[in-house]
């Protein structure tokens, strides 16, 4: 099949999804690589060009065994027309449950033809020095696997004669998908004595939940607890202080510390 470029479309607050998509694109080896970064808040109102002879690699994080809700909203603005797509989810070494199936189904609904799928492991948003959760992932072996996956996708693309008659890939997951967890109103907060009001947290927040006025203010109704602000704060002044999340972190570290391996479906 004649492909002229690869487009990476991702929602990735803490950038692990973005890193894996970039590594897959390296393996695919089409010269022209474009980014459709659906993470900044203004991506909610952007319009997107039609895809034309592109392979689109769509990526999103797993939240509660499902696709992150904001990712679904933003990916839903893309429109394919028998456009070949690779669907990829990133998870924090617990489980990805129904998220990859959900992304495959969403891609089909939007007019894409999923030709490959993958579940990769990224550092968990809630990792802490005292309870490291898949800390540092994706590491170099993960990125090598992502590149190898890209090479296999390229071989498949080169062999496809007619995308319209392509059989759908099989990926794990169940439908109906598992229920979304009830949303909580927790959010990260700021340790004012060490905050330097640099604005990094407000600039990186994917839902524009943080405002810098006299002090850093967070709208907890907008916060999706992605921890982008916590991870990017140059003085470690952003913290996720919640006894509920602390319990989850302890449970994850006690039960999910054996490193999982990426899985690919092609
Ligand atoms: C609210 C929330 C729920 C999460 N749920 C899961 C989960 O069900 N399973 C899992 O393994 N990781 C889970 N994670 C971890 C993320 O999937 C993981 O950190 C991912 O690499 C983040 O992607 P990003 O770096 O592209 O933002 C969750 C993270 C958050 C913030």
Confidence tier at 26 by pLDDT (50, 70, 90): very high
- List residues bridging with 37 in a β-sheet: 10
- Specify the fold of 5-177+261-265: Rossmann fold (3.40.50)
Share of the chain above pLDDT 70, in %: 100
Torsion of CA 222, 227, 232, 234, to 10 degrees: 90
Hey, which residues does 131 pair with through a beta bridge? 128
**pLDDT category, 264, cuts 50, 70, 90?**
very high
Is ligand 1 within 6 A of the CB of residue 19?
Answer: no
Pocket lining: 16 vs ligand 1, CB cutoff 6 Å: yes
On the question of pLDDT at 49 being above 90, the answer is no
Which atom, in ligand 1's list, is nearest to the CA of 122?
21
Cα 166 to ligand 1 centroid, rounded to whole Å: 31
Q: What is the pLDDT of residue 168?
A: 84
pLDDT digits (tens, 9 = 90+) for 83-114: 999 999 999 999 999 999 999 999 999 999 99
The whole-number pLDDT of residue 165 equals 95
Nearest CA to ligand 1 atom 1: 63
Mean pLDDT, the chain, rounded, equals 96
Q: What is the mean pLDDT of residues 190-207?
A: 97
Residue 185: per-residue pLDDT: 86
Map out the domains of the chain as residue ranges.
Answer: 5-177+261-265, 189-241
Give the separation between CA 237 and CA 192, rounded to whole angstroms: 7
Q: Is 10 helix (H, G, I), strand (E, B) or coil?
A: strand
138-160: pLDDT as tens digits: 999 999 999 999 999 999 999 99
In this prediction the pTM is: 0.98
Is 201:234 a contact under the CB 8 Å cutoff?
no
Residue in the block written with tokens 């990792």: 127
Q: Ligand 1 within 6 A of 104 CB? A: no
Atom 12, ligand 1: which residue's CA is nearest?
Answer: 92
Rg (CA), the chain: 19
Q: Which residues contact 246 (CB under 8 A, 6 or more apart)?
A: none
Task: Calculate how far, in angstroms, residue 257's C-alpha sits from the geometric centre of ligand 1.
Answer: 15
What is the Cα–Cα distance from 246 to 100, expressed in whole angstroms? 27
Distance 122 CA to ligand 1 centre (A): 8
**CA 253 – CA 36 distance, rounded (Å):** 34
Looking at 3.40.50.300, 3.30.70.20, 3.30.230.70, 3.30.565.10, the CATH number of the domain 189-241 comes to 3.30.70.20
- Burial of 162 from C-beta contacts in 10 A (0-12 / 13-18 / 19+): exposed
Q: In the beta sheet, which residues pair with residue 61? A: 90
Out of 15-19, 26-30, 48-52, 65-69, which region has the weakest mean confidence (pLDDT)? Answer: 48-52
Looking at the DSSP bridge assignments, the partners of residue 66 are 63
The 10 Å Cβ neighbour count of residue 184 is: 12
Q: Is it the case that residue 48 has pLDDT exceeding 90? A: no
Q: What is the pLDDT of residue 28?
A: 97
> Pick from 54, 174, 67, 73: which is nearest to 115 by CA?
54
Quick one: what percent of the chain has pLDDT higher than 90?
A: 93
Domains 5-177+261-265 and 189-241 in one fold: no
Contact (CB, 8 A) for 205 and 41: yes
Q: Which atom of ligand 1 is nearest to the CA of 12?
A: 26
Which one, of 252, 207, 201, 196, lies nearest residue 228 by Cα?
201
Q: Are 43 and 71 in contact, with CB atoms under 8 Å apart?
A: no
Task: Judge contact between 59 and 88, C-beta under 8 A.
Answer: yes
Question: Residue 181 has what pLDDT?
Answer: 84
> Any idea which residue has 């439908």 for tokens?
175
Question: pLDDT of 166-191, one tens digit each?
Answer: 998 999 999 999 999 887 889 999 99
Residue 31 CA to ligand 1 center (angstroms) comes to 31
Question: What's the residue count for the chain?
Answer: 266
Residue 191 pLDDT = 97
d(CA 219, CA 98): 29
Which numbered atom of ligand 1 lies nearest the CA of 96? Answer: 9
Q: How far is the CA of 75 from the centre of ligand 1 (A)?
A: 17
């Amino acid at each position: 099949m004649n492909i002229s470029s690869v487009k990476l479309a991702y929602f990735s607050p803490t950038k692990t999804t973005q890193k894996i998509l970039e590594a897959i694109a390296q393996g695919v080896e089409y010269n022209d690589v474009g980014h459709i970064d659906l993470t900044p808040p203004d991506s909610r109102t952007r319009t997107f060009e039609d895809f034309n002879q592109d392979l689109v690699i769509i990526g999103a994080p797993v939240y509660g065994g499902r696709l992150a809700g904001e990712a679904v909203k933003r990916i839903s603005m893309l429109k394919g027309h028998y456009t070949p797509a690779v669907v990829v989810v990133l998870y924090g070494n617990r489980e990805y449950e129904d998220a990859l199936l959900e992304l495959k189904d969403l891609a089909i609904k939007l007019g894409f033809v999923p030709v490959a799928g993958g579940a990769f492991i990224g550092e968990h948003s809630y990792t802490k020095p005292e309870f490291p959760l898949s800390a540092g992932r994706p590491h170099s072996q993960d990125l090598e696997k992502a590149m190898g996956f890209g090479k296999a996708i390229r071989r498949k693309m080169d062999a496809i004669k007619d995308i319209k008659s392509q059989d759908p890939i099989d990926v794990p997951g169940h439908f109906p998908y598992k229920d979304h967890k009830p949303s909580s109103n927790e959010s990260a907060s700021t340790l004012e004595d060490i905050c330097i009001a640099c604005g990094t947290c407000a600039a990186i927040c994917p839902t524009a939940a943080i405002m810098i006025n006299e002090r850093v203010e967070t709208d907890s109704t907008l916060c999706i607890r992605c921890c982008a602000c916590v991870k990017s704060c140059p003085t470690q002044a952003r913290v996720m202080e919640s006894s509920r999340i602390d319990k989850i972190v302890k449970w994850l570290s006690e039960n999910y510390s054996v490193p999982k391996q990426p899985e690919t479906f092609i």
